[in-house]
Structure 1
Amino acid sequence: MKAYILKLSFEDITPPIWRRVILPADATFHRLHQTIQSVTNFQSKLSPYHSFSVEIDD
C-alpha cells in the first residue's frame, strides 16, 4: 500500500511544534482534515471548523 508521510507544523510558535503522520495515498481530503484535527487537538464542540492552510514543499 502506498502512503504519504506528512509533517504538520505550526508557524510563529516557539518552541517549534510539529507532528509527523502517515496517511494512505488514497486518503480523501475529508480524512486529511480529520487527521489534522486529531493530531493537533483542534477538535472543539464550540467551533467545529478551524482555519488552517496546506502547503506542499518540494
Structure 2
Amino acid sequence: MPPLPEQQKIAAILTAVDDKLDIIARQIEATQNPSHYYVDSSCGVRAFRSQNVRENS
C-alpha cells in the first residue's frame, strides 16, 4: 500500500474524474432530451433552457 498522503492524492484525482464523468453524463442526457432545449427562431441555434426557468403552460 502507498503511504497515506499518496493515497489521499489518488483519491482526490479519482473523485475529480468521477465528478467530471457525472457532469458529462448529465450533458449527454440533456442533449438527448428535446424538452431541455429550444431552437431560437431568429438564428436557428439550439440553446439549452435554464433549469431555473419555468415555462408558461
Scaled by the length of structure 2, what TM-score is found? 0.29
Flag the structure with more relative contact order, 1 or 2, with Cα contacts below 8 A and sequence separation at least 6: 1
More helix by share: 2
Between Structure 1 and Structure 2, whose CA radius of gyration is higher?
Answer: 2
More strand by share: 1
